């Protein structure tokens, strides 16, 4: 299941790993895959909110390509 845009509660697959938009709880392992729980108020969270698959967000000279949203 994927959604059209990144919202609170989205699981985001990027070219730089997985992020879960929720509260900043740090990194968790899910099926041996690291997932970072990210706050929408964080600098990266603010850039990712509202993006679609194929969009990019850049922070600290690092680019994050949104590959999937669930």
13-60 pLDDT, tens per residue? 999 999 999 998 899 999 999 999 999 999 999 999 999 999 999 999
Q: Are strands 17-21 and 62-69 parallel, antiparallel or unpaired?
A: unpaired
Q: Say what the pLDDT of residue 2 is.
A: 55
Band (4; pLDDT cuts 50, 70, 90): confident
Q: Which distant-in-sequence residues (6+ apart) come within 8 Å of 60 by Cβ? A: none
Quick check: 2 and 68 in contact, CB under 8 A?
Answer: yes
Q: Is the pTM of this model over 0.85?
A: yes
- The distance of Cα 57 from the centroid of its chain, to the nearest Å, equals 10
Given a cut of 70, is residue 3 above it in pLDDT?
no
């Amino acid at each position: 299941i994927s959604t059209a845009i990144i919202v609170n509660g989205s699981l985001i697959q990027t070219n730089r790993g997985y992020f879960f938009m929720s509260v900043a709880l740090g990194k968790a392992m899910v099926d041996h895959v690291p997932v970072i729980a990210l706050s929408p108020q964080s600098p990266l969270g603010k850039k990712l909110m509202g993006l679609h698959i194929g969009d990019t967000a850049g922070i600290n000279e690092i680019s994050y390509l949104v590959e999937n949203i669930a």
